[in-house]
Amino acid sequence: MDFLAAAGQQIWQVLPLGPTGYGNSPYAARSAFAGNPLLISLDQLAADGLLSDEELPAIEPSDRVDFEAAAPVKRAALRLAAQRFGERADAGQRQAYDAFRADQAGWLDDYALFMAAHEANGARPWTEWAPGLAAKDPTALADFEGEHAEDLAFHCVTQFFFWRQWGWLRAYANQRGIRIMGDIPIFVAFDSADVWSQRGEFWLDQEGQPTVVAGVPPDYFSVTGQRWGNPLYRWEEMATRGYGWWVERFRHLLRLVDIVRIDHFRGFAAYWEIPAANETAVEGRWAPGPGRDVFLAARAALGEVPIVVEDLGLITPDVIALREELGYPGMKVLQFAFDSGATNPFLPHGFEQNLVVYTGTHDNDTTVGWFAERQGQEREYALSYLRADGSEIAWDLIRAAMASVADTAIAPVQDVLELGTEARMNFPGRPEGNWAWRLRPGQLTDAHALRLRELAEMYGRTPRPPENDGS
């Protein structure tokens, strides 16, 4: 946050914050509400007196996360800290924890039950648990709670740690003039507390298996499309309950971030429905989404929600009409801009104000890696348009983004650092090896901050001082 403030920046965008599941993907979280325990600072728990310095794992940070090695080390330290919290918490800490439990009961109890049961069943999907536990039979749940009270407490306390630490971080960000942009994945993971606890909201068979799943048809990223595998919502059922589950998702995330990015917004207009038995996304159909109704329900309950929509991919007129009706800014990605001449909609000279422009996103290669693969006319047009020689292509795109009329310009930190494909965050359609790049301490320097600030000042993107009212 200190770096962003020094660099004249005003928004920090983050990936979804949930506890990652299959493939370590933040878009396949164990819960749409819980925080990822791997993000909890053990150093802060030590400062709170819950761990000793000697108990902190001595790990030299690299630029790649080893999830399989990190998870058990982190879990053991969190177990110890949670146990000590139970033993040592003073009256004020217990009051704060009890208030958290009561305030978050709508999702926390189900999440703790799900995670404890998931671990007790060897991390097998919930459809493979004992029938009573899988079906949330009250007697089976009561028996499990009695046998695993310590595990349930661990997951609740761990979420309290996350909630408290993230709250401090957000408050510090806001004090420095930084707003956090969070992310709501449109779909949730099948093996999650959400699907287990809300079976009636999803298209599942009697055994709990999905009958249809989410994905996208063949596109720029994959010739066979992407079969994400998420169960699909029973939108008509959700409508009868006023989209209450979605309203609570918005309410919850707005307590963690300042702006909400809606992933795969086009799915609210129409989504790609794939029979669950199909191995690829080639065979499917467009099914109608709920349209504006979800957002109107959120607006009625929460007021105007600050939303940015991810409207990339196969965008049809109904998606554009829905975004424009709601008034939400969409996204433009400069890496898509140079392959089709002056009418390409991703070129900055055609932008409108109400959008967010990116050099690239977590689903793209880094700009340096992307440019290394450009050839022929696309490469020549990019260099001509940018009036550049390609030696600093990442900063050329950062400058183009900031110089555009788009209200907001965002660059991945990998582009600020001019890193290549080795720093790419995600390869869409590839199930393994993603989400592991890590920013090391000291990589961002005063020189980076100065360069960003100079561009932000040049193009009027620094925070404006309050107007003098003459008093």
Residue that is written with structure tokens 């306390």 in the block: 157
Q: Which of 461, 354, 470, 464 is nearest to 402 (CA)?
A: 461
For residue 96 the two structure tokens come to 């704060």
Q: Which residue out of 48, 183, 194, 363 is catalytically annotated?
A: 363
Catalytic residue status for 263: yes
Residue environment code for 160-184, b if the CB has 16+ CB neighbours within 10 A, otherwise e: bbbbbbbeebbeebeebebbbbbbb
Longest CA–CA span in the chain (Å) reads 71
Catalytic residue among 183, 194, 310, 365: 310
CB neighbours (10 Å) of residue 289? 22
Q: Which residues sit opposite 259 in a β-bridge? A: 181
310 is catalytic: yes
Show the beta-strand stretches assigned E in 250-368: 259-262, 270-275, 285-288, 307-309, 330-333, 355-358
Active site residue 90: no
Which residues make beta-bridge pairs with 331?
Answer: 356
Contact 21, 189 (CB under 8 A): yes
List the catalytic residue out of 119, 145, 219, 263: 263
| Residue 261, φ and ψ in degrees, nearest 5 | -95, 125
Q: Which two tokens stand for residue 237?
A: 């059922």
> Using CA atoms, how far apart are residues 185 and 32, in angstroms rounded to an integer?
8
180, β-bridge pairs: 12
Catalytic residue IDs: 263, 310, 363
